[in-house]
Amino acid sequence: MPSNKLQELPLLIRALIIRYRLQFQCTYVEISMKLGVNHITARKLYTRVLEDSGGTEDLIEMLQHLEDRARLGAPSIIKLGE
């Protein structure tokens, strides 16, 4: 079953999603079939990397933004009864 989580995608698969989209103009469904990832996950990754690279569709620039975004802090915890 295709992965639905960006965090679970290996770096190589992330790079291939970007390359297939940029250099071969593959649709997200085609990418999904080639790599075994969910097409929505592929679209989300591409969109995030494009945004992080300043909107430039340059392969080298986009590949520099494949890592997960850093978290801004620990998730807030709500204690019951407070």
Q: Is residue 41 domain-resident?
A: yes
Measured CA distances, 70 to 11, 55, 65 (Å)? 16, 19, 12
Structural domain including 33 reads 10-63
3 state SS of 50? helix
Q: Is residue 79 domain-resident?
A: no
Q: Is residue 14 domain-resident?
A: yes
Q: Which is nearest to 10 in space by CA: 71, 69, 66? A: 66
Provide the number of structural domains found in the chain: 1
Q: Is residue 50 domain-resident?
A: yes
Residue 74 pLDDT: 58
pLDDT range class, residue 76, cuts 50, 70, 90: low
Whether 64 contacts 53, CB under 8 Å: yes
- How far apart CA 3 and CA 35 sit, in angstroms, is 10
- Span 27-57, pLDDT tens digits: 999 999 999 999 999 999 999 999 999 999 9
Q: Is residue 71 domain-resident?
A: no
Whether 13 contacts 48, CB under 8 Å: no
Q: What average pLDDT does range 3-10 have in this prediction?
A: 74
Q: Is residue 59 domain-resident?
A: yes
Q: Is residue 5 domain-resident?
A: no
Q: Is residue 77 domain-resident?
A: no
